[in-house]
Amino acid sequence: MANPIIEHKEVSNGRHSFLLAPPQPPELAVVERQQLPVWISEPPDGVNSETFPLLALHGFGRLGDSDYLKSFHESIRTKCNALVITLDYLGTKILRDLNGIPFFDEVCLKMTNERLVELGLPLIPADVLQSPKAAHLTVNYLKKLREQYHLEAGEYMGVIGKRFPDDHYDFGLMQTIDCLWAIRLAKEKFPKANWNQLTAAGISHGGYLSTQCARFAPNTFSLIINSYGWVKPYLKWIHKGDWAATVQNESIKMHLIMENYWSRDPNSQNYFSPDRAMIRTQLDTNQIQQWKAQTRGPGPHFVMTQQIDDEMHPRSEKEVFVRLMKENGFDLEYLTSNVGLPIGYQSLDQHDETSFKGLILDFADPQRRQNHLVQQDDFERGEKISYQCGSSLYEIDYSTDFPSLGVRAVKCQVSSDLL
């Protein structure tokens, strides 16, 4: 394949920005992706044989180049002699809206005003909409309406969002391939780093992706830090062809509706089938057995933390995953708010940058990596990693310059009842 690097800039001392021509989703031909942004930060004294590479994966509402992660880069690369890698994986542009900073177009604005009409409330003023700070001013206006008319949180719904035609919520498949591309790029640009101690760490959705990376590249990582990461896709977000989520922002509920290419219709080529759900879940015994069978060495050491227990991060599901991993021979620490976690982590929030830094500083220590050093990673092996999911075979091919993902039909297996 042609070199996917479109652009490379050193944006500050030791901090690099890359744009890649991204991998295209094999499941959704309608999606034409334009670019994959990656950021890599060197330690202050440069990369040496003691530098450990760290893939840091943000959760919902963050960007790979946000002030939050810039600060994270600076702290971790300095304190840990780490080569820090972040990226805007597929779906990031959509998911950043969940951070409470809405971006809206004319369609979403129309929907918001229609909701105001339904409630008999004044429309958003023209001067607000024409301001360069329209998004923030709109949220402030909605808050004032709520206070003025004494609306309960459940009575009010602001509809704000933005559609991105080249982006969609992938539920963790191409997002993982994006992460592997970022690693492949970093290996090429910084070969002197200690790649047999590669670590992936993430919070919430980023924690889920860190484990997916280990699953799709079972011989590549030394350590995985998964802080209250999900263990399966949330299919309720597929609703009438739209992707939707509701968040609370200072007592104002905002409902964001994005165009989604997935469908619940079995006759649609974009049907989110049981096979497509299975490749994305971490709760299927057969999938974990396939994972273990393709792990040639000790595999990574896993640190799993579970500080919260809610609808999106149910502790019961994480405990099923932990049990299945241990039963199949994976080396795993499971820390909850009751056992093993320092007091500062017992109420972690995904938007707490101090907590994310603390997780790395406390848990990414050399001792945890020492017994799980990578001898020959999947990029060097150049083989295929494959998972049969029902009647679909998913193959990650490392014989190509950058790993490619393919899907083909095979003889059906029984689908998991955990989906």
Torsion sign, CA atoms 80, 356, 224, 198: negative
Kindly state whether residue 389 falls inside one of the protein's structural domains: no
Kindly state whether residue 293 falls inside one of the protein's structural domains: yes
* Same domain (yes/no): 142, 119: yes
* Same domain (yes/no): 42, 153: no
What pLDDT does residue 47 have? 96
What pLDDT does residue 243 have? 38
How large is the C-alpha radius of gyration of the chain?
Answer: 22
What pLDDT does residue 179 have? 97
pLDDT in tens, 227-259: 888 898 765 444 433 333 344 444 444 444 445
Name which of 109, 141, 145 is nearest 128 in CA terms.
Answer: 141
At 319, give phi and psi (nearest 5°).
Answer: -70, -35
Kindly state whether residue 137 falls inside one of the protein's structural domains: yes
- The span from the CA of 174 to the CA of 396, in Å, is 11
CATH of the domain at 297: 3.40.50.1820
Name which of 401, 410, 380 is nearest 181 in CA terms.
Answer: 401
pLDDT above 90 coverage of the chain, percent:
40
Specify the higher pLDDT residue, 146 or 179: 179
Kindly state whether residue 315 falls inside one of the protein's structural domains: yes
Q: How many angstroms from the chain centroid is the CA of residue 192?
A: 27
Q: How many angstroms from the chain centroid is the CA of residue 294?
A: 23
Question: Which domain range does residue 112 map to?
Answer: 97-165+239-259
Kindly state whether residue 68 falls inside one of the protein's structural domains: yes
* Same domain (yes/no): 193, 319: yes
What pLDDT does residue 156 have? 46
Given a cut of 90, whether residue 136 has pLDDT beyond it is no
* Same domain (yes/no): 49, 25: yes
What residues does 39 pair with on adjacent strands? Answer: 17, 86
Given a cut of 80, whether residue 384 has pLDDT beyond it is yes
* Same domain (yes/no): 48, 151: no
* Same domain (yes/no): 157, 184: no
Residue 323's pLDDT band (boundaries 50, 70, 90)? very high
How many helices and strands, by DSSP H and E, does the chain display? Answer: 13, 16
Specify the number of domains making up the chain.
2
Adjacency order of strands within the sheet including 36-41: 5-12, 15-20, 36-41, 82-87, 52-57, 199-203, 223-227, 301-306, 331-336
Q: Which of 52-56, 337-341, 374-378 has the lowest mean pLDDT?
A: 337-341
Given a cut of 60, whether residue 104 has pLDDT beyond it is no
Kindly state whether residue 401 falls inside one of the protein's structural domains: no
Classify strands 158-159 and 252-259 as parallel, antiparallel or unpaired. parallel
* Same domain (yes/no): 55, 200: yes
* Same domain (yes/no): 218, 326: yes
What mean pLDDT comes out for the span 176-181? 96
* Same domain (yes/no): 217, 326: yes
Kindly state whether residue 111 falls inside one of the protein's structural domains: yes
Kindly state whether residue 414 falls inside one of the protein's structural domains: no
* Same domain (yes/no): 314, 222: yes
| pTM of the complete model | 0.81
What mean pLDDT comes out for the span 189-195? 97
Q: Which of 55-64, 238-247, 389-398 has the highest mean pLDDT?
A: 389-398
Structure tokens at 17: 């920005």
For the chain, the first-to-last Cα distance in angstroms comes to 36
Given a cut of 50, whether residue 350 has pLDDT beyond it is no
* Same domain (yes/no): 214, 305: yes
* Same domain (yes/no): 309, 348: yes
